[in-house]
Amino acid sequence: MKITFKDGNSKDFEQGKSAYEIASSISSSLAKKSIYAMVNNEPVDLHRPLFEDAVLELKMKEDAFEVLNHSCSHLLAAAIKKIYPHAMFGVGPAIEEGFYYDMNLGDVKLSDADFPAIEKEMNRIASQDHPFKREEVTKEEAKLRFKNDRYKQEIIDELPADSVISLYQSGDFVDLCRGPHLPSTKFLKHFKLLHISGAYWRGDSQNEQLQRIYGVCFFEKEQLDAHLILLEEREKRDHRRLGKELDLFMISEYGPGFPFWLPKGMILRRALENYWFKVHTRENYQFIQTPIMLSKELWEISGHWSYYRENMYVSEIDEKQFVVKPMNCPGGMLVYRNSIHSYKDFPLRVGELGLVHRHEASGALTGLFRVRNFTQDDAHIFMREDQIVSEIGNLIRLFEEVYSVFQLEYHIELSTRPEKKYIGEIETWNKAEEALAKACHSVGRDFKVNPGDGAFYGPKLDFKLRDSMNRIWQCGTIQLDMFLPERFDLTYIDENGEKRRPIMLHRALFGSLERFIGVIIEHFGGAFPTWLAPVQVKLIPVNNEAHLDFVQKLAKQLQMDDIRVEIDQRDEKLGYKIRDAQMKKIPYQLVVGDKEVESNTLTIRKYKESEVLNLPVSEFIAQLIEEIKTLGQKC
């Protein structure tokens, strides 16, 4: 068989040779460093025999985090099976930052207190250097092997009758798995079990709840230690805790999943909204507002009633069913239909900060990240087909500009047609997906394909943001829709005076204000850039009787320049007031005493900086205005 390597060179090998044996023939050190292989762009075990011509790429530790953690999920299951022989297992995949395994332990309810015993057993098994052995069996054989595990039985039942099913064995433990895995358990030295939660079998709330254990594994101890420190920092930045400490928002038991915005949170929210309106006005968007409730018939036309009914709140008015809108799109269609449009109007960009409601499972609600009502920063863009690539390219540039203001990196994923729930012809979907890919290439942006994750009405580009804690968040999206204009009979008059169907984009930049605010609370650790901070300046008089009058006049001067300011005139010690302002993460604290009053200067303490500055009042205000303008108003 002919093996072609990454550098383009080829060599003939005897059939049945594994990637490890091929690597060994080149260099023993290369074989020793290899963890798994890519064969014709498919990941395979290092010791799996090869029988056909192939393109081979050997993967080292730096590329094997996913394989390492998938193997560690098997190690976790093996330890659980040893301690709890009656355990049954769901699935145990690698995830972005580690792995998890879902399991049913009957009446046994695990907690974090059980982790040391489980980790001890994992270490014992790993130290025995068990190889991960792959075995291929028929469907009947697989069912027999897992006759005591109804979850594995269910997975096997859904496979075609003639399927060849792969199993992996390490020591006494056998699991149903596609692989690939590490050569052996000896690599699984530096792991940590992190937390446990409930998880419905197959993600369906109608199914029973299993116990899900999360963990992470690294090749080196230093990597694990650094990751655990990062997790501690994330805990400190939890937006639910900071939201309470900074008086930004609250959740009431009378409205689970329905956030209340407190005064400082409203200031933060309004700052985001004002920035959004300013940048979109520059980009020639028009703005609308559509009703929160609309009749059931509208949602039948849009297709949401058939495809999204379980997430919608329904009420009755005058013996007719009305829906609290889960999306802004159908209302946007009605606004478009209200006028006659010409090809000269295109691209027509229509924006809406629209409040929507969706029924989320109570167990999924999480602070601002998963709520039941939120404001989508929506826009619908109507255009001709020949404008698709250029308009999406412009949107990508806009997204990049806005995310850079918040110091957020991102990558793009192209989500394609769902396997089952979709409308329209496959040929139309293929055309739309091709247009999105071409638009990314037109502005020099790479993307990752996310198969089957498109909306039911069209493919989309999802913008995955990476924050300062190295986490990925789904926020922005651009969805190409060739179907709703058809359903709502939207038209425009072309250059020949004939009616044509427009192409439409759905797009959201923040995704939702609530979720985005949660992301940036944790991204900045509550220490917002000055332009965004609810309180930008805290004025602290040394003595209220002697200095308060000067401070109050200074506050009015700052407010005249649209600077958000608070005075701390509590009867507390000066050091306490300064520490409190630091705890509230206020960008600037100005201490005013006799010297400042007499010289009309300010003693300035900046958040997290030890240096204390003294500046004339006018100079400080001028510098602060410039800082706010530079940091946040890049439009």
Q: What is d(CA 482, CA 428) in angstroms, rounded to the nearest whole number?
A: 8
> Minimal CA–CA distance to 164: which of 147, 181, 176, 150?
176
pLDDT band, residue 453 (cuts 50/70/90): confident
Contact criterion met (CB below 8 Å) for 376 and 356: yes
Give the burial class of 79: count Cβ atoms within 10 A of its Cβ; 0-12 exposed, 13-18 middle, 19 or more buried. buried
Q: How far is CA 228 from the centre of its chain?
A: 20
Strand pairing partners for 52? none
Q: What is d(CA 380, CA 332) in angstroms, rounded to the nearest whole number?
A: 7
Confidence (pLDDT) at 634: 47
Q: How many CB atoms lie within 10 A of CB 503?
A: 23
Is 2-63 in CATH node 3.10.20.30?
Answer: yes
**Helix ranges restricted to H, 351-387:** none
Confidence (pLDDT) at 635: 38
Confidence (pLDDT) at 622: 95
Q: What is d(CA 555, CA 566) in angstroms, rounded to the nearest whole number?
A: 8
Is-catalytic flag, 633? no
Is-catalytic flag, 460? yes
Residue among 81, 181, 372, 380 flagged as catalytic: 380
Confidence (pLDDT) at 633: 52
DSSP E strands in 42-157: the ranges are: 42-45, 54-59, 88-89, 94-95, 98-104, 133-138
Residue among 81, 280, 417, 460 flagged as catalytic: 460
Q: What is d(CA 152, CA 205) in angstroms, rounded to the nearest whole number?
A: 19
Bigger pLDDT: 178 vs 455:
178
Residue 217, pLDDT above cutoff 60: yes
Average pLDDT of the segment spanning 623-632: 84
CATH architecture of 65-231: 2-Layer Sandwich (3.30)
Which residues lie closer than 8 Å to 343 by C-beta, 6 or more apart? 384, 492, 493, 494, 495, 500
Long-range pairs for 439-445: beta carbons < 8 A, 24 or more residues apart:
439/388, 439/389, 439/390, 439/392, 439/393, 439/396, 440/392, 440/396, 440/412, 440/414, 442/389, 442/390, 442/393, 443/393, 443/396, 443/397, 445/396, 445/412
Is 537-632 in CATH node 2.40.170.20?
Answer: no
Average pLDDT of the segment spanning 297-326: 92
Residue 533, pLDDT above cutoff 70: yes
ω into residue 180 within 30 of 0, thus cis? yes
Q: What is d(CA 71, CA 58) in angstroms, rounded to the nearest whole number?
A: 18
Average pLDDT of the segment spanning 194-222: 92
Residue among 152, 358, 515, 577 flagged as catalytic: 358
Residue 562, pLDDT above cutoff 60: yes
Q: Do the strands 472-481 and 460-466 form a parallel or antiparallel pair, or are they unpaired?
A: antiparallel
Q: What is the pLDDT of residues 391-443, one digit of tens each?
A: 999 999 999 999 999 999 999 999 998 887 787 788 888 888 998 999 999 99
Residue 456, pLDDT above cutoff 80: no
Structural tokens at position 429: 């979907």
Q: How far is CA 535 from CA 223, 261, 278, 531, 631, in A?
A: 38, 16, 21, 10, 16
Q: What is the pLDDT of residues 250-297, one digit of tens each?
A: 999 999 999 999 999 999 999 999 999 999 999 999 999 999 999 999
Confidence (pLDDT) at 289: 97
Confidence (pLDDT) at 632: 58
Q: What is d(CA 306, CA 323) in angstroms, rounded to the nearest whole number?
A: 13
Residue among 211, 376, 387, 479 flagged as catalytic: 376
Is-catalytic flag, 358? yes
Over its C-alpha atoms, the chain yields an Rg (Å, rounded) of 29
Average pLDDT of the segment spanning 446-472: 88
pLDDT band, residue 608 (cuts 50/70/90): confident
Residue among 217, 329, 440, 475 flagged as catalytic: 329
ω into residue 256 within 30 of 0, thus cis? no
Residue among 149, 377, 378, 467 flagged as catalytic: 378
Average pLDDT of the segment spanning 371-391: 94
Average pLDDT of the segment spanning 176-186: 94
Is-catalytic flag, 177? no
Residue among 152, 506, 585, 605 flagged as catalytic: 506
Contact criterion met (CB below 8 Å) for 417 and 365: no
Strand pairing partners for 499? 493
CATH number of the domain at 249-523, please?
Answer: 3.30.930.10
Confidence (pLDDT) at 631: 67
Give percent of the chain above pLDDT 90: 81
Q: What is the pLDDT of residues 575-586, one digit of tens each?
A: 999 999 999 999
Mean residue pLDDT of the chain comes to: 93
pLDDT band, residue 204 (cuts 50/70/90): confident
pLDDT band, residue 483 (cuts 50/70/90): confident
Domain locations in the chain as residue ranges: 2-63, 65-231, 249-523, 537-632
| Range of weakest confidence among 59-63, 361-365, 558-562, 572-576 | 361-365
DSSP code per residue over 468-497: TTS-EEEEEEEEEESSHHHHTT--EE-TTS
Is-catalytic flag, 162? no
Contact criterion met (CB below 8 Å) for 509 and 402: yes
